[in-house]
Structure 1
Amino acid sequence: MTSRRPRARRALAVFGVLTLLAAACTGAGWWAQARTASPLTSDTPDGPLLVPVIAAERVARYGVGIAVTYADGALVTVNTGGTVTGVATGPGDVLAVGDEIVRVDDAPVLAFVADAPLWRDLAPGAEGEDVARLQRFLTDVGVYSGRADGKFGERTAEAVRRFNTAHGRKDAGTTFTLASVAWVGAAPFTVATVEAATGAILVPGSPVVQGPRQAATLTVTEPAGGIPAGVSYDLAVADTVTAYTPGSGTIADPAAIAAIAASLGTSGEGAGQVVTADPEPAVRVPASAVIVDETGISCVYDDPAGTPVPVTILGGTLAHADLAADLSIQQVLVNPMQVLEEPTCGSSPTP
């Protein structure tokens, strides 16, 4: 007859694995994404129950707070002085190349869209990158059809003459003056506010319109205790996912900042998740299959008459355990506490 030890040790084994799993589930918020459905679809039978080991991926998720700070929108300034005699734009308008912004002393000031502004008046004989920018502008407004070669020759001079005549600057002849344009940047410019009213007196450098405020920085507030380093993470807010470095408290990608700011609305504050970028491979088994014996060793069985297989518990819940992916067996005994006399991780038990 086989001797029986107190069933207290069975209770110790069950309590041990549940305690470990509960501890592993706290703090980091680990989740495992199983690749197959659980085979447990009915109550545990009286005899041995063997189920397949399930492949899984573990992803760490940390809830974080998000806050965006904004910078004032860009200002568009004029290169002339005088009295504002007309305002041709308003909030919400988009200024494309050649669009009129304001009139100063009854002469229109047009939007100059280029990768850099003009910095001098240009006349026949001038050469340089600014001449090429002028030639592209004249092409866009329909008065020049030559090459943007950076040389102010006869064809460019004739185009400037036509431009000046059409825009109230006939006296300038073949000289293109800075007063006739205002640089709005490298792309069409969205107007948020108009800074110059009819009747206002301007000097060179006076602002006439301002763009919308721009998301400048994004602050990430990590949970108490921080986020463990040594793993690659992404910050996920709404539909935007971007790389995040634990402890930095911010992200650097301007496009991601702008997208996140847009998703947060006018408040500029919200919540997101920091998620491991590379899921950790694991295997999943029912929690009841894992034994933690009185020595603190964890194991599972793949057969009621087999030997214990040591395992490393990565986490899980009270229903399942996530184990290191190097587990060598393909199935586990779900109910060792019911079918084995004294489950232990040190040697084969008595069935």
Structure 2
Amino acid sequence: MQTTRRASWPVLTMIGVGAWIVAPFIALCLLTAQALNAASVEPRPVVVAAEHAVGDLNRPVALGLQWSDPLPIPAPEWAGIVQEVYVSAGDAVVDGTPIARIGSIRRLAALTSYPFDRPLALGDTGEDVAMLSSFLRARGLDAPDVPTFDERTLAAVRSYAASIGVPEAGSVAAFDPGWVMFLLAERPVATIDVVIGSSAPAQGSVVLQLAPQVVDAVLWEDGTQPPAEGSVEHLTPSASASPTEALLVGGQTVALDETRTRVSADGLDALASLVAAGTSVAAANLIQPAEDGQWVVPAPALVTSEGGSCVFVRRDDKQVRLDATAFVSISGTVVIEADLRPGDEVIILPVTQRITCG
């Protein structure tokens, strides 16, 4: 009896060791089989209801901006004490804007081709005389439209002198260049360095800094980050507007150029008042009215292949292909024109399937 019991122990030991070795292998085979079965399950398509496009289609974009430097305005030859200052930071300076009263005379900005550099009197001729006459006419005075300083010009000069406070204006014999301050461009004031009670600024010293202006503005895809400071000389567009889209910045329409990727020259002037100075990227929107026959579907539902663009819809438990024309992408959706019907559900097919529209 003892001999039989001793003989069975080696057998049992061998069986236990074998099971200990084989069991992990069997478990690994079972897990592998389960993984293969899971991988072989075909992904199911997703169906989403198509929505009829209504109202305005609003596509967010970014506007990349490039700015000029501030524009310095130097003082002409002035004399006297500063008695009043009429402009401050943020004020627009245009042709005829009063800048300051110095030595009892109101000094106005003059938007001319170049600064007046000599007194002008009877018999003088030249482009500066023509500029003076144009400046006087803009003030409502009867100056002739000729490049010669004549009696009519002198009468207009005396009237202008009286309007700005020149002493004994009725007997002046010439126009004094110090009565005006040359203005290279019409812009808002960034800074002004004229102090009431101080002596007139020295000739050539900067008395005004006019605000920087937008010199280029291009359409970028929404979320685009600006390039590093000074890394590019010219901005490159990465988005474009369709012929029916209008650009809105701060709720105001801004004109685009013929490429539909950049703001036009007129639009650049408008931008200065719509965005903070120095802003490198501004939020904007491209707006267009929705038209009959346009639908909004998830972007993955639009299939594009060599055969064109199309969507697949489910009708009567069947998959039906419809040709589609894409108009604009908006935040994960796309506006298309297709022969869809109310209640249609577009199919987002698995990416593993090879799909064509041909």
TM-score by length of 1: 0.52
2:105 to 91, 108, 111: 108
1:184 equivalent in structure 2 = 183
AA at the equivalent of 1:237:
V
Indicate conservation of the 8 Å contact 1:110/1:180, yes or no. Answer: yes
2:120 equivalent in structure 1 = 122
2:194 to 184, 193, 196: 196
2:53 to 9, 29, 33: 33
Q: Name the Cα RMSD after superposition.
A: 5.5
1:79 aligns with 2:99: no
Distance, in Å, in 2 between the alignment partners of 1:117 and 1:97 is 13
- CA distance 1:145–1:314, change in 2 (3 Å): closer
TM-score by length of 2: 0.51
AA at the equivalent of 1:251:
R
- CA distance 1:279–1:243, change in 2 (3 Å): farther
Distance, in Å, in 2 between the alignment partners of 1:110 and 1:215 is 28
1:271 equivalent in structure 2 = 283
1:253 aligns with 2:252: no
Bigger Rg over Cα: 2
1:343 equivalent in structure 2 = none
Farther off after superposition, 123-132 or 224-233: 224-233
AA at the equivalent of 2:124:
A
AA at the equivalent of 2:83:
G
Indicate conservation of the 8 Å contact 2:53/2:294, yes or no. Answer: no
Indicate conservation of the 8 Å contact 1:84/1:196, yes or no. Answer: no
AA at the equivalent of 1:33:
A
Size of the alignment, in residue pairs? 271
Identical residues among aligned pairs (%):
20
Distance, in Å, in 1 between the alignment partners of 2:53 and 2:273 is 30
Distance, in Å, in 2 between the alignment partners of 1:159 and 1:245 is 44
Deviation string 1:238-292 (CA, Å, 9 cap, x unpaired) is 423544899x9x73424434545544457845433456x79798565999xx9x9
Indicate conservation of the 8 Å contact 2:53/2:290, yes or no. Answer: no
1:151 equivalent in structure 2 = 148
- CA distance 1:324–1:132, change in 2 (3 Å): closer
Distance, in Å, in 2 between the alignment partners of 1:286 and 1:149 is 66
Q: How does 1:226-245 map to 2 (within 5 A)?
A: 235-239=247-251, 240-243=253-256
Post-superposition shift, 1:150?
2.7
Post-superposition shift, 1:228?
7.4
- CA distance 1:168–1:70, change in 2 (3 Å): farther
Mark the runs of 5 or more structure 1 residues left unpaired by the alignment.
1-10, 26-30, 36-56, 336-351
Distance, in Å, in 2 between the alignment partners of 1:99 and 1:279 is 46
Mark the runs of 5 or more structure 2 residues left unpaired by the alignment.
1-40, 225-236, 304-309, 346-358
Distance, in Å, in 2 between the alignment partners of 1:100 and 1:286 is 58
- CA distance 1:314–1:200, change in 2 (3 Å): same
Q: How does 1:1-351 map to 2 (within 5 A)?
A: 15-16=44-45, 18=46, 33=53, 63-66=60-63, 68=65, 70-80=67-77, 82=79, 84-91=81-88, 100-102=98-100, 106=103, 108=105, 110-119=107-116, 120-139=118-137, 144-160=141-157, 167-168=166-167, 173-184=172-183, 190-197=188-195, 198-200=197-199, 202-218=201-217, 220-222=219-221, 235-239=247-251, 240-243=253-256, 251-257=262-268, 259-260=270-271, 262-264=273-275, 268=279, 270-273=282-285, 310-312=321-323, 325=338, 327=339
Post-superposition shift, 1:164?
5.4
